[in-house]
Structure 1
Amino acid sequence: MKQKINVWEGVYNCWEEAPGDDDVFEGKVWVDKVTSRAQKALTAHRSNETVSLAALNKDYILSVAGAMLLSSIDGNLCVLDFGGGMGASYLPLISSVPDFEKVEFHIVEGKIICERGREILEDFPHLHFHEQFPKLANPVHIIHAGSSIQYVSDWKELLAEFAKYQPRLLVLEDLMAGDIPSFITTQAYYGKKIRSQFLNINELIEAVRALNYRLIYKSRYTGEILGEVGPLPMENFPPQYKLNYGSHLMFEWMGP
C-alpha cells in the first residue's frame, strides 16, 4: 500500500520556529526539476505549431479579460456570450471582479436552456437570456464563445454575426482548432451523436482577421473529457487529423 505523504505539516507562530532545510533551493532535486521544466517549456516554445504547448491553459480566460476591460472603461461592461449555458461563464466572471454589479451579461442559447436559466438564475437582474441574437441598447464590449463554435454548421457566418456588434474583444475558448485540416466529425454524447467541427487554426485566424480583428492572445486549453484531464482522446483518427488540445484565442477590434 502506498504511504500517504503530507505535503504540509505543523502550525508555527513565526518563521524561525518552523524547521526547514535552507539548502533546498540550491539542491540537486530542486535544480533538476527547475531545469527539466525549463527544457520542456523551451522545446515547446521552439516547436513549429501555431499555438505552442508552452502556452497551455487549464482555465477559461473570460474572467481575466473582463476584469481588465472593466477597469479601463466608464460605465458597465457588456458581454454577449454565445452558447453560454446557464451562466457557466457569468458566475465565474462576477465572482472575480469587485464591481460585479457593473457587468451586464447576455447569453444566447436554446429555448429550453433559456427558460430554465431564467428560473434558476432569477436573482441576477443583470443576466439576460436570448434565443436569438438580441438588439442591445448599449455597446457590446466582449463577445464570448466557449466550446460552442464547433457545433455550428456555418462558423464563418457566425463570426460575421459577432462582428456586427463591433465588440472590443472577441474571446473564443475551447476551440477544436489546431494545425490540422478542417473536418467535420460526430461526437458521442450519452448514446446520441452531435455533429462537430474541427478547424485549421490558421484558417480560423484569417477569417477573424478579415472581419477587422487582430489576434492578441493564443493558448492551448486542456479540459476534462471522460473524467480525465489531458490530450484529446483521438487515437482512432489518422495522424493528420489528431488534435492534442483545444485552443483559446482572443482578438481585438482594430477600429473603423
Structure 2
Amino acid sequence: MFKKLLSSKKKPKDKYGWFGDYTSWAKASSEAGGYDEHIILERTTNALLKVKSGEAVYERDSVIFDQKEIPYALMSFLMLSATLKKRPLNVLDFGGSLGSTYYQIKDLLPEETCASWNIVEQEHYVTSGKANFEDETLKFYSSIDSCFEKKKIDFILLSGSVQYLKDPHVFLEKLAGYDFDFILFDRTAFNNATNDRLTLQVVPPEIYPASYPAWFFHKEFFLSHFSDRYKVVAEFPSYVEGEAVMFIDDRPQGTNKGFYLVNSSKYD
C-alpha cells in the first residue's frame, strides 16, 4: 500500500479520521511517529491468504469482511476499455496492495476483459506478493518502469493511493506522460475548497495503530495534468459506504470519488 503507515505520536484524544490543514508534508509527518510496516504487511498478507483460500470473502486495508462491496464503476470501465481496445487488457494497479481489488473482482469479470493484472507496490509488498499471490495473471513490480519492461500496459488503476504520495502533482504530471490508453482514479480524496489540503489521517486502532499525511485535492487542478491528452469520460462516487462525505476536523469538507479518462489521441 502506498499509504505511509505511521504509528500515531500526536492525535486528538479518542478521535480518528482526518485532521488539520498542514503547510508542508514535513509538518504533517512531524505529528506522526515511527511505523512498523512489517505488522501491517503481516496483517494484510494473512487476510488476503484467507480470501485466496476461500476462508474469507473480501479484504480491504487488512480488514476481512463477510460481504463484498462491488466496485461497479471500475468493472464497467474495464469492460468498456476492453471493448474499445478490442482485446483483453493488461491492467496496472498502482498501490494495489497484495491484490485486494484483483481478488475482489476477478470472478466477476468476463475472460475477454483482463489479460493480466500487474501491481506496483513498495518493495516489501512485492516480495510478499511474489511469494504468496503471484500467478499467471497476477504479477508484482516495484515501479511502473519495471512493469513496462515486461508488459505493454493499456489501463492503469489508481484506487486510494495518490493522496498518500509526498509529491502527488509531480507524480500526476509523469503519469500523464506515460500515454496510457485508459486511466481510472477511484476512492481518491477531493476537497470542497478551491485548493489542495494536507491533513493527518488517524486510523482506528482496530484496523492498525497508525497515522500518516493524506491529501485532499482540488478537482480542477488535479485533472489539469491530463487536459492536453485525455478526455474525462465519467465522474463517479466511491463504492465504499460512508465515503461520499469525508469529514476533516469533524466537519464535512471533502469526498472520495473517481474519474475515468480516455486518451483522446487514440480514441475520439
| TM-score bucket of the superposed structures, by smaller chain | 0.5 to 0.7
Counterpart for residue 236 of structure 2: 219
Query: How far did 1:91 drift?
Result: 2.5
Question: Superposed, which structure 2 residues align to 1:151-170 within 5 Å?
Answer: 151-170=164-183
| Kept in 1: contact 2:189–2:257 (CA 8 A) | yes
Count residues with an aligned counterpart: 191
Match of 2:93 among 78, 81, 85: 81
Q: In the aligned structure 2, how far is the partner of 1:115 from the partner of 1:100?
A: 29
Q: Structure 2 vs 1, CA of residues 230 and 252 (structure 1 numbering), >3 Å: closer, same or farther?
A: closer
Question: Superposed, which structure 2 residues align to 1:1-256 within 5 Å?
Answer: 59=71, 61-99=73-111, 102-122=114-134, 124-133=135-144, 134=146, 135-180=148-193, 181-189=195-203, 190=205, 191-210=209-228, 212-221=229-238, 223-224=240-241, 231-237=245-251, 242-243=253-254, 245-255=255-265
Question: What percentage of residue pairs aligned between the two structures are identical?
Answer: 17
| Kept in 1: contact 2:90–2:155 (CA 8 A) | yes
Q: In the aligned structure 1, how far is the partner of 2:232 from the partner of 2:141?
A: 28
Query: How far did 1:246 drift?
Result: 0.9
Letter in 2 for 1:215: V
State the secondary structure of the residue aligned to 2:248: coil
Q: In the aligned structure 1, how far is the partner of 2:106 from the partner of 2:70?
A: 19
Q: In the aligned structure 2, how far is the partner of 1:161 from the partner of 1:194?
A: 24
Q: Deviations over 1:21-78 (max 9, x none)?
A: xxxxxxxxxxxxxxxxxxxxxxxxxxxxxxxxxxxx9736222211222234344411
Q: Structure 2 vs 1, CA of residues 234 and 160 (structure 1 numbering), >3 Å: closer, same or farther?
A: closer
| Kept in 2: contact 1:173–1:247 (CA 8 A) | yes
State the secondary structure of the residue aligned to 1:113: helix
State the secondary structure of the residue aligned to 2:71: coil
Q: Structure 1 regions of 5+ residues with no counterpart?
A: 1-56
Of structures 1 and 2, the larger Rg is shown by 1
| Kept in 1: contact 2:164–2:215 (CA 8 A) | yes
Q: Structure 2 vs 1, CA of residues 136 and 254 (structure 1 numbering), >3 Å: closer, same or farther?
A: farther
Q: In the aligned structure 1, how far is the partner of 2:175 from the partner of 2:256?
A: 21
Letter in 1 for 2:85: I
State the secondary structure of the residue aligned to 1:67: helix
State the secondary structure of the residue aligned to 1:185: strand
Query: How far did 1:179 drift?
Result: 3.0
Q: Deviations over 1:200-252 (max 9, x none)?
A: 11111222214x1121100222525xxx6763233535x7xx11x31111111
Q: Structure 2 regions of 5+ residues with no counterpart?
A: 1-68
Letter in 2 for 1:86: L
Letter in 1 for 2:256: G
Q: In the aligned structure 2, how far is the partner of 1:223 from the partner of 1:75?
A: 30
| Runs ≥4 residues deviating over 4 A | none
Instruction: Name the structure, 1 or 2, with higher relative contact order (CA <8 Å, separation 6+).
Output: 2
Q: Structure 2 vs 1, CA of residues 178 and 158 (structure 1 numbering), >3 Å: closer, same or farther?
A: same
| Kept in 1: contact 2:88–2:112 (CA 8 A) | no
Letter in 2 for 1:130: Y
| Kept in 2: contact 1:178–1:246 (CA 8 A) | no
Q: Structure 2 vs 1, CA of residues 90 and 114 (structure 1 numbering), >3 Å: closer, same or farther?
A: same
Q: In the aligned structure 1, how far is the partner of 2:103 from the partner of 2:167?
A: 29
| Kept in 2: contact 1:60–1:173 (CA 8 A) | no
